[in-house]
């Protein structure tokens, strides 16, 4: 593990919101599929940049969220991008296990608006019980 410096210049150039966070979009590096959207604080961006695996900030748990730490579905970061006004991060990642969503689907954006209703369009690849209760499998 290399040393993450949350005071690095590139981190100061991000426009953190009043909670010290920015949205971070994860996109599959190979397929272009958008996998998920989560949040980052300074420390999570610093660690992500230094270690090369996506680390977010869990707002519900109030702590760093090393993506894949319980599921094994790590996101190896190939590119980190910043938007024009500096308040949104884009991660280009290789999604280990091909599953980004806690529901066991490849992407969290599996609902599409059709006829005024949200329809589920992606199959569950692996059940959440299998993912989270038997991480060694």
Q: Is 12 annotated as contributing to ligand binding?
A: no
- What is the smallest separation between the CB atom of 54 and a second copy, expressed in angstroms? 13
Binding mask 17-36 for a second copy (x = CB under 8 A): ------x-x-x---xxxx-x
- What is the smallest separation between the CB atom of 33 and a second copy, expressed in angstroms? 7
How would you label 15-32 residue by residue, b for 16+ Cβ within 10 Å and e otherwise?
ebeeeebbebbbbbbeee
Q: Nearest 10 degrees: CA dihedral of 39, 44, 47, 50?
A: 50
Binding span for a second copy by CB under 8 A among 68-76, 115-123, 129-137: 115-123
Cα 64 to chain centroid distance, Å, stands at 12
Token readout for 75 is 């996101």
Q: Is 85 annotated as contributing to ligand binding?
A: yes
Token readout for 77 is 């970061």
Q: Cα separation of 30 and 95, whole Å?
A: 10
Binding mask 36-75 for a second copy (x = CB under 8 A): xx-----------x--------------------------
Contacts with a second copy by CB under 8 A lie at 8-10, 13, 23, 25, 27, 31-34, 36-37, 49, 79-85, 88, 90, 101-103, 105, 108-113, 116-118
């Amino acid at each position: 593990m290399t040393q993450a410096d949350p005071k690095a210049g590139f981190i100061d150039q991000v426009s953190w919101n009043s909670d010290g966070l920015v949205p971070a979009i994860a996109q599959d590096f190979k397929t272009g599929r958008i996998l998920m959207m989560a949040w980052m604080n300074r420390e999570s961006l610093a660690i992500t940049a230094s270690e090369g695996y996506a680390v977010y900030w869990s707002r519900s748990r109030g702590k760093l969220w090393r993506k894949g730490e319980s599921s094994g579905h790590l996101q190896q970061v190939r590119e980190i991008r910043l938007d024009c006004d500096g308040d949104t991060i884009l991660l280009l990642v290789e999604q280990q296990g091909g599953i980004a969503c806690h529901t066991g689907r490849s992407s969290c954006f599996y609902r599409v608006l059709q006829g005024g209703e949200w329809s589920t369009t992606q199959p569950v690849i692996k059940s959440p019980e299998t993912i989270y209760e038997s991480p060694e499998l």
